[in-house]
Structure 1
Amino acid sequence: MSTKVNLPVWALTAACGLFSITGAHAQVSVDQPWVRATVPGQQATGGFMLLSSPTDTALIEADSPISKHVETHEMVMQDNVMRMRQIPKIDLPAGQTVELKPGSYHIMFINLKAQVQEGSDIPMTLTFEDVNGVRQTISITAPARPLASAPHSNHHQKH
Structure 2
Amino acid sequence: MISTTMKQRVWILAIHCMVFGSWISSIATASAHAEVVIANSFSRTLPPNVQNGAVFLEMVNKSEKEDFLIRSTTPIARVVEFHQHTHEDGLMRMKKIDSIPIMYNTKVSLSPGGLHIMLIDLKQPLIEGENFPLTLFFKKSGDITISVPILGPDANLHTKQNKDEDEKQTKSEPNITNLPTVQFELVIKDGKVQKPDKTFRVKKGEIAEFRISSNEPHVLHLHGYDIEFRIDNKSQNIFQVKANATGRFPVEVHGTKYHHTIFYLEVYPK
TM-score of the two chains, using structure 2 as the length reference: 0.46
* Residue of structure 1 in register with 2:99 after alignment: 89
Q: Which has the larger radius of gyration?
A: 2
Say which of 77, 84, 90 aligns to 1:67: 77
> Which residue type is aligned with residue 120 of structure 2?
I
Q: Is the 8 A contact 1:63 1:70 kept in 2?
A: yes
Q: Is the 8 A contact 1:35 1:122 kept in 2?
A: no
* Residue of structure 2 in register with 1:35 after alignment: 43
Say which of 115, 136, 139 aligns to 1:129: 139
* Residue of structure 1 in register with 2:148 after alignment: 142
What is the rounded CA distance, in whole Å, between the counterparts of 1:151 and 1:78 in structure 2?
A: 30
The CA RMSD over aligned residues, in Å, is 2.4
Which 4+ stretches in 1 moved above 6 angstroms?
none
Larger RCO (alpha carbons 8 Å, 6+ apart): 1
* Residue of structure 1 in register with 2:204 after alignment: none
What is the rounded CA distance, in whole Å, between the counterparts of 1:127 and 1:33 in structure 2?
A: 15
The runs of 5 or more residues in structure 1 that have no matched partner are 1-11, 155-159
What is the rounded CA distance, in whole Å, between the counterparts of 1:122 and 1:152 in structure 2?
A: 19
What is the rounded CA distance, in whole Å, between the counterparts of 2:59 and 2:146 in structure 1?
A: 12
User: Could you tell which deviates more after superposition, 63-72 or 144-153?
Assistant: 144-153
What is the rounded CA distance, in whole Å, between the counterparts of 2:45 and 2:90 in structure 1?
A: 28
The runs of 5 or more residues in structure 2 that have no matched partner are 1-16, 164-270
Q: Which structure has greater helix proportion?
A: 2
Is 1:151 aligned to residue 160 of structure 2?
A: yes
What is the rounded CA distance, in whole Å, between the counterparts of 2:135 and 2:51 in structure 1?
A: 20
Shift of 1:147: 3.5
Query: How many residue pairs end up in the alignment?
Result: 133
SS in 2 for 1:108: strand
SS in 1 for 2:112: coil
TM-score of the two chains, using structure 1 as the length reference: 0.75
What is the rounded CA distance, in whole Å, between the counterparts of 1:147 and 1:82 in structure 2?
A: 20
